Amino acid sequence: QVQLVESGGGLVQAGGSLRLSCAASGRTFSNYVMGWFRQAPGKEREIVAAIYWSSGRTYYADSVKGRFTISRDNAKNTVYLQMNSLKPEDTAIYYCAARRGVVILTANTYDDWGQGTQVTVSS
């Protein structure tokens, strides 16, 4: 049974940093893409960043380029999202997700999801 467990969310002031973690278990993820999505109240779930588990190749949404960094630790089966220079508009629930194959921007193409972690950025 696949499990994705996020942690690391919280309340931070604008300009601050947080690091989210996603601990993955239940399968071998070598042929998978791991994505970080976020959903703010009243908005659709949107992709923030993604990483190919095997190659480490990354994708970023334009809104977070230069501020967020996605990475993975194969030994710990964990994916990270380092978020710097946070803005109030980054406030959302952040979800970790997995899909087999290539990066797709649409949330409903991802098979496995974590429970989400709240990130709140105050101005």
Within a 10 A sphere around the Cβ of 75, how many other Cβ atoms? 6
Q: State how far the Cα of 106 lies from the Cα of 26, in Å rounded to an integer.
A: 23
In angstroms, rounded to a whole number, what is the distance separating the alpha carbons of residues 8 and 106? 24
| The pair of three-digit structure tokens given for residue 72, joined into one six-digit string | 């993975």
28 DSSP assignment: -
Report d(CA 32, CA 82) in Å as an integer.
20
For residue 1, pLDDT over 90 is answered with no
Q: What is the pLDDT of residues 34-93, one digit of tens each?
A: 999 999 999 999 999 999 999 999 999 999 999 999 999 999 999 999 999 999 999 999
DSSP classification of residue 104: -
pLDDT value at 122 more than 90: yes
**Over 90: is that where the pLDDT of 19 sits?**
yes
| Predicted pLDDT of residue 86 | 98
What's the confidence (pLDDT) of residue 87? 98
